[in-house]
Amino acid sequence: MKIRIFYEDTDSTGVVYHANYIKFCDRARSSFFFDADLPIEDKGALLVHSLDCGYYSPARLGDIIDVKTTISEIKKASIRLKQEIFLNKRVIFELNIKLVYVIDGKPSKFPEYMTELFEKI
């Protein structure tokens, strides 16, 4: 997913504010769901359980970055993803994130449509 860097994404050090790379990765994840034709009535939610990330090189105003997502591990109620942000074909940021599927506050088995979606990533 290609994302342009706008003023709102930068801070006074002249580069992208560190927490915003995490937003960009969320945009890429959400896009999988938006682009798929998903059932609307879902009682569950996919929550962020934990994440770790590394900052290798900054992006700047006007840059067009590219977020690439791969699945590291799928379990019954959780999934681990690796998301890399590229600028000019170089990785500038890397995120590992674990998401848990939760219904009424409890980790729950992924619904079938979600497992099918993960297979397409």
Give the residue numbers marked as catalytic.
11
Q: The tokens 């799928």 sit on which residue?
A: 74
Pairing of strands 90-103, 44-55: antiparallel
113 binds a copy of itself (CB under 8 A): no
Shortest distance, position 66 Cβ to a copy of itself, whole Å = 16
- Rounded CA gap, 32 and 96, in Å? 17
List binders of a copy of itself among 11-40 (CB under 8 A). Answer: 11-15, 17-20, 22-23, 26-27, 30-31, 34
Task: For residue 32, give the DSSP letter.
Answer: H
The amino acid at 58: P
8 binds a copy of itself (CB under 8 A): yes
Shortest distance, position 88 Cβ to a copy of itself, whole Å = 16
List the Cα angle 23/26/28 in 5-degree steps: 115
Site map 55..74 versus a copy of itself, x via CB under 8 A = x----xxx------------
- Print burial letters for 51-65: b (CB count within 10 Å at least 16), e (below 16): eeeeeeebbeeebeb
Shortest distance, position 1 Cβ to a copy of itself, whole Å = 10
88 binds a copy of itself (CB under 8 A): no
Q: Please give the structure tokens belonging to residue 88.
A: 């000019």
Which residues lie near a copy of itself (CB under 8 A)? 4, 6-8, 10-15, 17-20, 22-23, 26-27, 30-31, 34, 45, 47-55, 60-62
